[in-house]
Amino acid sequence: LTHRLAAHWLTERQRLWPRTTNPHLLITRATAYHPRQPPLAHSYPYRVLHKLGVTTTQLRVDRLLDEARHSADPVHMMRLFGISPATALKYVSAAHPDRQCVLPR
């Protein structure tokens, strides 16, 4: 799902802004504006995803779960995504239910 959405978005982005130099896949408020680059409507990525029936939150959750499936390392996930230890452990546990353990209290 993530790969198809990213490919669709890159195709659409190239069609709409063929000369943009913004290197980011998903543009945020922090990366959308640059004085020497064409402006981007803040709501556009959301409208594209809405047409596909997907939210940005679902896309992020899919990305986090995919990474947890591949790495199963909560420290790696914390560094990569800037998430808390508890959140990283939840994603690793969800991706690997067979590896559950109970920590002593």
**pTM for the complete prediction?**
0.56
Contact present, 34 and 22 (Cβ < 8 Å): yes
pLDDT at 91: 94
Instruction: Render pLDDT for 27-81 as a digit per residue (tens, 0 to 9).
Output: 555 555 566 665 556 676 777 788 888 888 888 899 999 999 999 899 999 998 8
Lowest mean pLDDT among 12-16, 22-26, 54-58, 63-67: 22-26
- What are the distances in angstroms from CA 76 to CA 1, 12, 70, 85, 102? 23, 32, 11, 10, 21
pLDDT score for 59: 86
Q: CA 39 from chain center: how many Å?
A: 22
Instruction: Work out the average pLDDT over 17-35.
Output: 62
